[in-house]
Structure 1
């Protein structure tokens, strides 16, 4: 019985991972295809990466996407961390329920509604759609994801560390930067990576809030895919996959090293 369930579990896992990642693997493989036909293998070649870098439209869209993702992820990380600190440390203040609902509303709000509401807002205040509006829109919907990640870490944070630092004369600001921030930094990095990835991937909200000169890469790819998939698109997607993968691996290595250092510090403190 156990062997049967074991085989069933293994088969389910293999099929699940194949369903999720096999299309991505095929996309990466066919980005090195010699043939113009993306479904017919014509031999190994990297010429489409050269064609990609010569494609002005795709390169401009890539540059816009990276700038939006970097700025929006950084701002959303700061605002999301502050929101998480407010919800965790200040449990009783007037309007807390409303504030909490406003912070987490984008998590359950359909992207179409979010994009349309932001579009109406920008039109009402007379803000021309472009790079700024796309960036503001991405900050709006990614901030809540950062708040969730950081809040989950703060809920398990040992407040006695902060109390001990303040008892020794450290002011609240110094206590935060020297005690609290290093402990929750892995969660902040994870939140930044999540916000960065969501910004790279967004199509719906960017379609509502973008304007001339602010076409993002997902929008550019979607417009070209309707006319047929080209190997250049496979190459662009492969580069994006590589960027996200490198970021995730780097964040994992940093978090692992910080965890190892934290354990060493605890062992030294116990021995002392």
Structure 2
């Protein structure tokens, strides 16, 4: 019975992995396709990678996405970590309300945040551009960082901090020498989640970017009407390899931290 159950679970797991990864493999294969048609294979070529380098529209959109993503990840990681420490360790008036407010961005539709920000920018007469996208991304990603770090703090041994203080360390030294290294895997996992969400986010960017300041998801959406260029397949392939390398490096770092 157990052997049969294991086989069923193995087959089910393989089907799930195939469902997830076959589309990406097909995309990577067609990034080397000599044809502009995404469904017809006519030959092998690297031309789309060379054309990608000289496509200013895609490169500018990618730069905008990277700028927004890096700033969002940095701010969300700091705010999310500080919020997690405050909520987990301290008792204060309105703590439950504050904790509840951090859960709202996780469940609220992105379109609500995007439209709300657009209304605020219109009321304040703010010119839309790359900077106007960042607040919305920070709002939705900070909550994810906070939740991940809080989960990490539940397994934290506070006696290590007490031991550090007994040995003469002040609060600042205790945090950087003891607390932060121990919660770092949670902070890193939250930062990766914020990075992924911000890089992939479309709705908020669509409502809050101005002409010439669109992010990569917004550009791809605008290209869908006329047909996505194979250059996008080439860019997606490069990004997949970059993310795989980043995940492997981070995973190795987290494993070393646990040891």
- TM-score bracket, normalised by the shorter chain, equals over 0.9
Q: Which residue of structure 2 lines up, in the alignment, with residue 170 of structure 1?
A: 169
- Offset of 1:98 from its aligned partner? 1.9
Is the CA contact (8 Å cut-off) linking 1:131 and 1:213 kept in structure 2? Answer: no
1:104-125 CA distances to partner (integer Å, 9 max, x unpaired)? 2100101111211122222223
Write the distance in 2 (CA, Å) between the matches of 1:226 and 1:240.
23
Is the CA contact (8 Å cut-off) linking 1:206 and 1:216 kept in structure 2? Answer: yes
Write the distance in 2 (CA, Å) between the matches of 1:69 and 1:246.
18
Q: Which residue of structure 1 lines up, in the alignment, with residue 18 of structure 2?
A: 18
**Aligned-partner SS, 1:127:** coil
Is the CA contact (8 Å cut-off) linking 1:70 and 1:196 kept in structure 2? Answer: yes
Q: Which residue of structure 2 lines up, in the alignment, with residue 268 of structure 1?
A: none
Write the distance in 1 (CA, Å) between the matches of 2:97 and 2:127.
30
Q: Which residue of structure 2 lines up, in the alignment, with residue 142 of structure 1?
A: 141
Q: Which residue of structure 2 lines up, in the alignment, with residue 234 of structure 1?
A: 233
Write the distance in 2 (CA, Å) between the matches of 1:88 and 1:200.
29
**Aligned-partner SS, 2:132:** helix
When structure 1 is superposed on structure 2, of 153-162 and 126-135 the one drifting more is 126-135
When structure 1 is superposed on structure 2, of 65-74 and 223-232 the one drifting more is 223-232
1:164-202 CA distances to partner (integer Å, 9 max, x unpaired)? 111222111111011000111111111111111111101
- Offset of 1:26 from its aligned partner? 0.5
Q: Which residue of structure 1 lines up, in the alignment, with residue 102 of structure 2?
A: 103
**Aligned-partner SS, 1:130:** coil
Q: Which residue of structure 2 lines up, in the alignment, with residue 58 of structure 1?
A: 58
**Aligned-partner SS, 1:7:** helix
- Offset of 1:23 from its aligned partner? 0.3
**Aligned-partner SS, 1:156:** coil
Is the CA contact (8 Å cut-off) linking 1:197 and 1:244 kept in structure 2? Answer: no
Equivalence map 1:1-272=2 (5 Å): 1-90=1-90, 92-260=91-259
TM-score normalised by the chain length of structure 2: 0.96
Q: For structure 2, which runs of at least 5 residues remain unmatched after alignment? A: none
1:108-144 CA distances to partner (integer Å, 9 max, x unpaired)? 1011112111222222233221111111111111111
> How many residues are paired up?
259
Q: For structure 1, which runs of at least 5 residues remain unmatched after alignment? A: 261-272
Change (3 A) 1:243 1:209: same
- Offset of 1:28 from its aligned partner? 0.7
Write the distance in 2 (CA, Å) between the matches of 1:207 and 1:60.
16
- Offset of 1:220 from its aligned partner? 0.4
Runs of 4+ in 1 over 6 A off after TM superposition: none
1:198-230 CA distances to partner (integer Å, 9 max, x unpaired)? 111011111111112320001101110221122
